């Protein structure tokens, strides 16, 4: 790794080695009264109030607000943590019926093993050319493990898709990826959006004629360039807490036309295909 001066090293450490200081977004239901009617009820006995799912964003923020103080830690030396297990069957009912059929309650509950607190710190609607409802999210969790005496902060991100059912918007799919805090600072160009665009769409695809300065709006990056094919391109990235940029959308526009969502796959479309003769 190339040498850096002291100022570069300080900024490097701030970018990759420091956890998020963003405020939590899931701060609804901070009083115990909200959870009281659901106490001791199984997931199939719960009916969500209609106001919790009136809009897609309400559904997501309320879902994570319910989960904020949910805990599934096997080692608890200090007694009850937060709302204990009560929030899990409530949160499960934010899923669509079709998604419940794919993910059982037991599987859902076990997916929170080791987690004692959840903060939603980033939420951004992903542009979708099919007019679907899709959001990027990032969470900060406090996690505890059997063989450790202390808890640790963990960070994860993913995408949430929603559909409208007769009683409001429901989660129809949810992905989750844990963040790594060592690969980004020590290895690879593919953690940085500008490098990803320059190498994948420039060096590999020979598509870039003129690259414009990056436009940043908080943790969202918009990277524009004019292509050798005469079209303009916009790539949207979201910066995670670990400093990695995740590409979430690609747009292409020809002259005066509107921006259109595209899906260029450089690894498949621009790199030489590996020979299978010797396989």
H/E stretch holding 6 reads: helix 6-16
Place of tokens 């799919």: 173
Counting Cα atoms < 13 Å in the Cβ hemisphere of 99 gives 20
H/E stretch holding 172 reads: strand 168-174
Q: What's the start-to-end Cα distance of the chain, in Å?
A: 35
**Would you give the distance in Å from CA 76 to the centre of its chain?**
28
pLDDT at residue 238, as a whole number: 97
Q: What is the pTM of this model?
A: 0.87
> Phi-psi region for residue 141, left (φ > 0), alpha (ψ -120 to 50) or beta?
beta
pLDDT at residue 152, as a whole number: 86
* 18-178 fold: Nuclear Transport Factor 2; Chain: A, (3.10.450)
Nearest to 143 by CA among 112, 167, 189: 112
Nearest to 28 by CA among 10, 53, 1, 4: 53
Series of mean pLDDT values for 10-residue runs along the chain (279 residues) = 49 60 88 86 92 96 95 72 89 96 96 92 88 92 78 92 94 95 79 95 96 96 97 96 93 92 92 59
Query: Please, which residues bridge with residue 135 across strands?
Result: 125, 160
pLDDT at residue 56, as a whole number: 96
State how far the Cα of 188 lies from the Cα of 245, in Å rounded to an integer: 12
Residue ranges covered by each domain of the chain: 18-178, 186-269
Query: Please, which residues bridge with residue 247 across strands?
Result: 237
pLDDT at residue 77, as a whole number: 60
pLDDT at residue 205, as a whole number: 95
């Amino acid at each position: 790794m190339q040498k850096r001066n002291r100022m570069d090293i300080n900024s490097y450490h701030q970018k990759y080695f420091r956890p998020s200081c963003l405020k939590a977004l899931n701060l609804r239901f901070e009083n115990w009264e909200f959870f009281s009617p659901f106490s001791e009820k199984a997931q199939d006995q719960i009916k969500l109030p209609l106001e919790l799912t009136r809009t897609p964003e309400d559904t997501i923020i309320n879902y994570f607000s319910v989960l904020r103080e949910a805990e599934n830690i096997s080692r608890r030396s200090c007694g009850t943590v937060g709302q204990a297990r009560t929030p899990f069957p409530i949160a499960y009912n934010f899923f669509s019926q079709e998604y419940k059929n794919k993910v059982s309650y037991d599987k859902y509950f076990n997916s929170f093993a080791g987690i004692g607190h959840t903060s939603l710190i980033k939420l951004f609607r992903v542009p979708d050319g099919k007019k679907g409802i899709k959001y990027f999210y990032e969470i900060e969790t406090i996690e505890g493990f059997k063989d450790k005496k202390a808890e640790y902060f963990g960070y994860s991100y993913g995408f949430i898709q929603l559909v409208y059912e007769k009683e409001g918007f429901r989660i129809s799919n949810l992905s989750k990826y844990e963040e790594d805090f060592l690969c980004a600072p020590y290895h690879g160009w593919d953690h940085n959006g500008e490098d990803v665009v320059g190498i994948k769409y420039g060096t590999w695809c020979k598509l870039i004629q003129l690259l414009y300065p990056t436009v940043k709006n908080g943790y969202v990056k918009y990277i524009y360039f004019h292509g050798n094919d005469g079209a303009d391109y916009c790539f949207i990235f979201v910066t995670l807490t670990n400093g990695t940029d995740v590409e979430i959308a690609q747009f292409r526009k020809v002259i005066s036309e509107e921006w259109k969502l595209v899906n260029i796959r450089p690894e498949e479309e621009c790199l030489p295909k590996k020979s299978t003769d010797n396989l």
